[in-house]
Amino acid sequence: MQSHQFFVKHGPYPFKEIIKAINCTIDYSHVEDFEIYGVESLVNAQENEVTFLNSGKYKDISLKTKAAVCITSLNLSKFLPDKCIKLKVRNVLLAVNQVSRMFYPGADADYPDLTVMDSNQFKKKYSKVNFGKNVLIGKNVQIGKGTYVGSNSIIESNVKIGENCIIGSFVIIKNSLIGNSVNLKDGSKIGIKGFGFIAAKKKNIRTPQIGKVILEDGVEIGSNCTIDRGSISDTIIGKNTFLDNHIHIAHNVRVGENCIMAAQVGISGSTTIGNNTVIGGQAGISGHLKIGNNVKIGGASGVTTDISDNCQVMGYPAVPLRDFVKMRRKK
Amino acid sequence: MQSHQFFVKHGPYPFKEIIKAINCTIDYSHVEDFEIYGVESLVNAQENEVTFLNSGKYKDISLKTKAAVCITSLNLSKFLPDKCIKLKVRNVLLAVNQVSRMFYPGADADYPDLTVMDSNQFKKKYSKVNFGKNVLIGKNVQIGKGTYVGSNSIIESNVKIGENCIIGSFVIIKNSLIGNSVNLKDGSKIGIKGFGFIAAKKKNIRTPQIGKVILEDGVEIGSNCTIDRGSISDTIIGKNTFLDNHIHIAHNVRVGENCIMAAQVGISGSTTIGNNTVIGGQAGISGHLKIGNNVKIGGASGVTTDISDNCQVMGYPAVPLRDFVKMRRKK
Amino acid sequence: MQSHQFFVKHGPYPFKEIIKAINCTIDYSHVEDFEIYGVESLVNAQENEVTFLNSGKYKDISLKTKAAVCITSLNLSKFLPDKCIKLKVRNVLLAVNQVSRMFYPGADADYPDLTVMDSNQFKKKYSKVNFGKNVLIGKNVQIGKGTYVGSNSIIESNVKIGENCIIGSFVIIKNSLIGNSVNLKDGSKIGIKGFGFIAAKKKNIRTPQIGKVILEDGVEIGSNCTIDRGSISDTIIGKNTFLDNHIHIAHNVRVGENCIMAAQVGISGSTTIGNNTVIGGQAGISGHLKIGNNVKIGGASGVTTDISDNCQVMGYPAVPLRDFVKMRRKK
């Protein structure tokens, strides 16, 4: 069970209470009631947890889930193990939303941590850390030796930061685990609530966001970037990956190692990006895509499909580079 | 008369002094002099105020204006009521600029509010507000009960904030009225001076910006967004509309209710957007456009024309979605 | 010799030590050893400094360089004066990186200035400056009379700011020279480390960034912009140029006078832009380009080639405006 340490988890709840919460009309009276301890992704869910499946894309991992219960649709339920109880609903995300709210009430909002205190209050604890002025630090924070934290920055409770990091000014870090030798430039916001919602005609509904941000060793994040915390799983930036300024990384994105992204790139939710990938400035990548290793994406491209290893793409929508050049010639 | 409470208004000025200021050469000696109390939009101007008309797009509202005087061009003057005195000039915006500067000297700059003080100074006044550390608050501010304000944020003078809002860290709010249950994530800047100027060969001229920002109940603004104050009228975001990170909303934009905008969207000045509209990440919308209700705009689209209710568009420039798909197939 | 006053320069180093550092295998035993005092651009390098040439684009200025030594490639060495010692290497940028690190160790990182102190500590020195609350100021800073600095902003050591500037809140200025009457809106970051690196399969290498930012008189920078310091030469924004919000200006960019850029524009490294140029929102310009005077670039364009004076372009990639219109008609 992955630890969502940044939120107090409620529960456990009886299975039949969960059925009631999602307005599931199927008769489960033959099933003996049991307790459910949390909501998790297909991969991370344990035998006493509920998970969800909302796309055929994930059938390989869904077939292996250990979850006791899975919220899914009629069509997708065949991609789940026999022993998993399938709760078939019309609107999977809405049902997941309702269950998540039971375990993590309040997690659809981005409450500021009011317990932070001036770093001068912790002189002994952080004697090997180099602080600027007016740095605010929450409870149960760890910061490794040799790390710099610039003036006016805020490290919220439960964040862990490794050694020899360089954190600029006006940075906020929350809901995050930061490796060693990570550089975060001025004004970046790490671990903020993701943009999770369910569109509804009268009033859109916010989705609880309970994942973390993990920045691995050697990562560099440019100025004024935003890295959203994961919704249920985590947002991860791999070792030695460098991001320029004004970059937006949405919830659940996983970027590989040693990648480079130029300024103003935007990556939509749940997309994964391989190692050694280079992304030109202002490029955008749609959600739930898989971008391979050693991929090169031209500046200002709009990527709307998966991209295999070693490909070069460009355009809006992005196509293989040689097709893009050919199309330009025809005009 | 709309109250531009965030600036001290000068005047009133005699009508003939205004004619002189804009270098209007038409002979008005037959008109008896009278006092003018302000400059306002076509809709908001009262019988003792001056307004302006610079585009045939606004002829429906211009015909109903109550303004005593309207700065306009030769061609557009026919779209104004008979009783309205038409000041016909070559460069309408330049003339409006000159008159605005009389009433609001200094309003073309974004002076910081130097009167803000630590929220600890106001413990009694805001006893039902939850403050982080180092929050700065100006004069004559109202904040409703149950609202959170994260550390290091600034609320400048005369701002009103409703109940149960969640305001993150590194947020600045100025020249704004904020409803109830509004969420502003870390690093967003609300009510800053709009980008108003008149391009001139030797030295561009800044335009006074005297409008407000109004965020209605339930609005969510993502991290590192910028919402500019209106130039003469206001910038308004309607109820329950959600904005992701890095979004730019220019002066005088009006967004309807229950809309969703993904990250890095930019909306240019004076554009209006209907209700329940969904805008994909990195899309841009030109200025002075009218986007209808229930419109869907694809990611990274560049919208350069009005869009009717219920349409789906995509592309650069944006076209109806099925045309976009057809064009892609032809290539 | 240009003064990189924002970093302590190491050295001088014997020429033969530099050869060793870049792993140059050519035999220079016949050259008598001498001391090298720094690494500089082709234009700024003096007789006791090393420079570099990595593109035929710069042959006009490379032929006039005064540098004693130039790191370059086999093909480009012919564009250098006879008396200049040519160090021919396979990877010019990697070699420059290695030499820059000798003179400026640590300059590939963006260490915060820990010496900043509350502006109240400097009451006498800045008696004619108008400060908000919690303004932090470093050592050896100059700020002209009549300038405003908004609350929570940071001016790092050695920065010079002219008279009558308006600096908002949450602004950081470092490694910069700011002229008179400059306006910097809330949340802008001026003089941060540029995004310099050498892509390498296993681990990308950061490049030292030792240049300045120069903002000339009358410049306006919008909210949440980022202006990177130059890598070796400087990043310069010319007189009376206005930038809207969320704009990214990369290292070594030079923007002319009286230009206008709408929101979310991105300019890549080392590009130069002439006077009176207007750039629409969300447009992007590739690196190392030359954009002329009086150029108009349409919103969301992607500029990938040089543009001559007085041209209007639009599209992705950007083409002359009339070609763009023609292409749209054909579809």
Over residues A216-238, the pLDDT tens digits come to 999 999 999 999 999 989 999 99
Residues of B carrying an active site annotation: 251
Residue B4, pLDDT above cutoff 90: no
Q: Is C204 in contact with A299 (Cβ distance < 8 A)?
A: no
pLDDT tens digits, C66-83: 999 999 999 999 999 999
The beta-carbon neighbor of A134 closest among C111, C134, C226 is C134
State whether A278 and C199 contact (CB < 8 Å).
Answer: yes
Quick check: B284 and C276 CB within 8 A?
Answer: no
Q: Residues A227, A254: contact at Cβ < 8 Å?
A: no
Instruction: Please tell me which residue of chain A has the smallest CA distance to C112.
Output: A150
Asked whether residue C1 carries a pLDDT value surpassing 60, the answer given is no
pLDDT attached to residue C329: 79
Judge contact between B143 and B125, C-beta under 8 A. no
Q: What is the pLDDT of residues B12-51, one digit of tens each?
A: 999 999 999 998 777 788 889 999 999 999 999 999 999 9
Q: Which of residues 7-66 of C touch A (CB under 8 A)?
A: none
8 A C-beta contact, residue B103 and residue B38: yes
Q: Model confidence over C13-37: pLDDT tens digits?
A: 999 999 999 987 777 888 899 999 9
Reference A114, options A87, A89, A138; nearest CA is A138
More confident residue, B237 or B26: B237
Q: CB–CB of A268 and B299 under 8 A?
A: yes
- Kindly determine whether residue C197 and residue A316, on different chains, have CB atoms separated by under 8 Å: no
Query: To which H or E segment does residue C145 belong?
Result: none
Nearest to B65 by CA among B48, B75, B17, B89: B48
Q: Are the C-beta atoms of residues C298 and C318 closer than 8 Å to each other?
A: yes
Nearest alpha-carbon partner for B75 in B50, B97, B92, B60: B92
**What is the structure's pLDDT at A1?**
35
How far is C57 from C290, CA to CA, in rounded Å?
Answer: 10
Lowest mean pLDDT among A197-211, B222-236, C93-107: A197-211
Round to whole Å and give the CA distance between A324 and A297: 12
Asked if A266 is an interface residue toward chain B (Cβ–Cβ < 8 A), one would say yes
Among C134, C264, C297, C309, which would you mutate to test the B interface (most chain B Cβ atoms within 10 Å of its Cβ)?
A: C264
Q: Residue A41: name the closest of A89, A115, A96, A110 by CA.
A: A96
Interchain proximity A220–C206, CB inside 8 Å: yes
B159 contact residues in C (CB cutoff 8 A): none
Burial, C85: exposed, middle or buried (Cβ in 10 Å; 0-12, 13-18, 19+)? Answer: middle
Predicted pLDDT at A331: 63
Tell me the C-alpha to C-alpha distance, in Å, between residue A37 and each of A2, A5, A11, C318: 12, 15, 6, 55
pLDDT, tens digit (0-9, with 9 covering 90-100), for C179-205: 999 999 999 999 999 999 988 778 899
Q: What is the pLDDT of residue A70?
A: 96
Does the structure show a pLDDT above 60 at B3? no
* pLDDT for residue A200: 79
- Closest chain C CA to residue B206: C242
- C246 — contact with chain B (CB < 8 Å)? yes
Residues A89-101 have a mean pLDDT of 92
Pairing of strands C235-237, B213-215: unpaired
Statement: residue B2 has pLDDT above 80: no
CB contacts, 8 Å: C169 with chain B: 112, 154, 172
A113 to chain B: which residues are within 8 Å by CB? 132, 150-151
Considering chain C, what is the average pLDDT of its residues?
Answer: 94
| Angle at CA of residue C150, ends C147 and C154, nearest 5° | 95
With a cut of 90, say whether residue B232 has pLDDT above it. no
**Residue of chain C with shortest Cα separation from B202:** C258
E strands in A194-282: 197-198, 205-206, 213-215, 220-221, 226-228, 235-237, 242-243, 248-249, 254-255, 260-261, 266-267, 272-273, 278-279
Phi/psi zone of residue C113: left (φ > 0), alpha (ψ -120 to 50 degrees), beta? beta
CB burial of A88-124 (b: ≥16 within 10 Å; e: otherwise) equals: bbebbbbbbbbbbbbbbeebbbbebbbebeebeebee
Interval B184-201 mean pLDDT: 93
Radius of gyration of chain C (CA): 21
- Chain A residues with CB under 8 Å of C172 CB are 168-170, 186-187
Q: Which residues contact A176 (CB under 8 A, 6 or more apart)?
A: A159, A160, A190, A191, A212, A213, A214, A215, A229
CB contact, 8 Å: A294 with chain B?
no
Write the burial class of residue C299 (CB in 10 Å: 0-12 exposed, 13-18 middle, 19+ buried). buried
Contact B193/C at CB under 8 A? yes
Instruction: Tell me which residues of C are annotated as active site.
Output: 251
Mean of all residue pLDDT scores within chain A: 94
Neighbours of chain C (3+ CB pairs under 8 A): A, B
| Pair of tokens at residue C328 | 């749209």
Q: Which residues of C touch B268 (CB under 8 A)?
A: 262-263, 281, 299
Residues in chain B with CB shorter than 8 Å from the CB of A281 are none
Chains sharing 3 or more CB pairs under 8 A with chain A: B, C
Angle at A215 between CA A314 and CA C245, to 5 degrees: 60
Can you tell me the ipTM of this complex? Answer: 0.94
Neighbours of B201 (CB within 10 A): 9
- Confidence (pTM): 0.95
A151 and C192 within 8 Å at the Cβ level: the answer is no
Element (H, E) at A323: helix A321-330
Contact criterion met (CB below 8 Å) for A84 and A69: yes
If one compares B232 and A212, the residue with the highest pLDDT of the two is A212
Structure confidence by residue, pLDDT tens digits, A293-330: 999 999 999 999 999 999 999 999 999 999 999 988 77
**For chain B, what is the mean pLDDT?**
94
Per the CB < 8 Å rule, is B186 touching A189? yes
| Interface membership of C321 toward B (CB under 8 Å) | no
Q: Which residues contact B61 (CB under 8 A, 6 or more apart)?
A: B42, B43
φ/ψ (deg, to 5) at C311: -85, 150
Q: Does the distance separating the beta carbons of A203 and B240 come in below 8 Å?
A: yes
Contacts of B319 in chain A (CB under 8 A): none
| CA gap C284, B300 in Å, rounded | 13
**Closest residue to A116, CB basis, from B151, B187, B300:** B151
- pLDDT of the residue at A4: 46
Q: How many CB atoms lie within 10 A of CB A299?
A: 25
Confidence band (pLDDT; 50, 70, 90) for C2? very low
